[in-house]
């Protein structure tokens, strides 16, 4: 496993200190699988101030489409040949079509009736239940023989800094034959890696990270947790690789419980840094893609300027798709490891 990086240095003169020279390091890391580059720079202490949540949430329940009776009145229904009962329900959780779909089979799954759940308020049991409910939806899409039943993807935008337009917690759920960019690049690169090395990149990555320990967080069941070598998030990314699983529908109930348990540990640790928002995506291949391992990526989200609401990504990320992380992943690992 080749963890390659290019180290750089900037020299500046400090006018406050008699024009003394200051040297600022930075690093460009190359993702060992895809060759994607990530900059480690703009160093700062990973500590943010949390907002006044009462003020942030106040009144947003009044117009929330997922609150109270609304969720069964204003949200759309699936056609009968896909989900005969229109919307799927389990306890107070509901799955219904996304009114703003980005693919043919696009759904939303609510976490239940509660309008606001703080990041540290999600229990592992609750998250595992929600993921299990979503997998039932995917199984029904598969059973219906729908042509988009190929990649079964769950995305989670938790809270507005992560791209959620609602406070009410929910998952973006979709089945598609069109793999999103990075997932497609990973699947193709995993296949090439397997062809030329005769081994599975993901298994080799886990073994290498476990061996070095610098970025490894721990094992829960057959899920392996590590801080990404070339993260996309400004406060790092955490990767969970599920041993032997190729795709979302390979996940067992135990895997979902283990994933939920790991996520709750991450949320607790990032909460201590003042982070209250994150993205989480499933990365899946299909049955028979033996070169791939199902994994999820958890990426905390914050602001460059909280007061102004400046998002944590600008032109570099938006137009070059070049990312920056404001601490070394190995240091982030040390912070997160306290909770693992």
Which spans of this chain sit near Zn ion (rule: CB under 5 A)?
A: 64, 66-67, 115, 168
Tokens 């070598």 appear where? 229
What gap in Å lies between CA 88 and CA 82, rounded to an integer? 11
Rounded least distance, CB 67 to Zn ion, Å = 3
Short-list 86, 108, 110, 84, CA closest to 97: 108
What gap in Å lies between CA 68 and CA 73, rounded to an integer? 10
Rounded least distance, CB 57 to Zn ion, Å = 10
Query: Which of 118, 339 has the CB closer to Zn ion?
Result: 118
Query: Which of 21, 54 has the CB closer to Zn ion?
Result: 54
Query: Which of 66, 283 has the CB closer to Zn ion?
Result: 66
Q: Alpha-carbon torsion 227, 228, 230, 232, what sign? A: negative
Query: Which of 69, 81 has the CB closer to Zn ion?
Result: 69
Query: Which of 1, 57 has the CB closer to Zn ion?
Result: 57
Short-list 134, 180, 165, CA closest to 277: 165
Q: Which residue is nearest to Zn ion (CB)?
A: 64
Rounded least distance, CB 69 to Zn ion, Å = 11
Rounded least distance, CB 168 to Zn ion, Å = 3
Q: How remote is the C-alpha of 252 from its chain's centroid?
A: 20
What gap in Å lies between CA 134 and CA 93, rounded to an integer? 10
Query: Which of 156, 229 has the CB closer to Zn ion?
Result: 156
Which secondary-structure segment (H or E) carries 270?
A: helix 253-272
Rounded least distance, CB 165 to Zn ion, Å = 12
Rounded least distance, CB 324 to Zn ion, Å = 34
Between CA 277 and CA 286, with CA 281 as vertex, the angle to 5 degrees is 170
For 153, residues 6+ apart whose C-beta sits below 8 A from its C-beta are: 173, 174, 175, 176, 180, 183, 248, 281, 282, 284
Cα-flanking dihedrals φ and ψ of residue 258, to 5°? -70, -40
């Amino acid at each position: 496993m080749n963890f390659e990086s290019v180290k750089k240095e900037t020299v500046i003169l400090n006018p406050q200190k008699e024009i003394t020279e200051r040297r600022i390091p930075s690093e460009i890391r190359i993702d060992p699988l895809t060759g994607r580059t990530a900059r480690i720079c703009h160093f700062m202490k990973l500590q943010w101030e949390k907002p006044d949540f009462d003020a942030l949430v106040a009144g947003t329940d009044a117009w929330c489409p997922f609150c109270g009776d609304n969720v069964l009145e204003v949200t759309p229904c699936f056609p009968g040949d896909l989900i005969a009962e229109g919307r799927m329900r389990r306890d107070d959780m509901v799955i219904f079509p996304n009114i703003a779909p980005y693919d043919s089979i696009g759904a939303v799954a609510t976490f239940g009736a509660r309008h606001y759940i703080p990041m540290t308020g999600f229990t592992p049991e609750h998250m595992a239940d929600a993921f299990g409910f979503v997998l039932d939806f995917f199984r029904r899409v598969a059973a219906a023989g729908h042509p988009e039943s190929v990649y079964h993807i769950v995305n989670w935008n938790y809270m507005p800094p992560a791209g959620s337009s609602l406070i009410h917690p929910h998952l973006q759920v979709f089945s598609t034959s069109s793999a999103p960019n990075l997932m497609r690049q990973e699947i193709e690169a995993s296949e090439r890696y397997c062809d030329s090395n005769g081994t599975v990149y993901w298994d080799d990555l886990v073994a290498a990270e476990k061996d070095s320990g610098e970025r490894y967080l721990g094992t829960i069941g057959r899920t392996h947790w590590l801080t990404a070598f070339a993260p996309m998030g400004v406060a790092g990314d955490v990767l969970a690789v599920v041993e032997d699983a190729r795709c979302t529908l390979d996940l067992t109930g135990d895997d979902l419980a283990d994933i939920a348990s790991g996520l709750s540990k991450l949320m607790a640790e990032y909460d201590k840094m003042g982070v209250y928002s994150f993205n989480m995506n499933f990365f899946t291949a299909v049955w028979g893609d033996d070169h791939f391992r199902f994994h999820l990526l958890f990426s905390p989200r914050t602001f460059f300027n909280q007061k102004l609401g400046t998002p944590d990504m600008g032109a570099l990320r938006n137009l070059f798709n070049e990312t920056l992380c404001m601490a070394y992943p190995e240091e982030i690992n040390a912070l997160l490891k306290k909770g693992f």
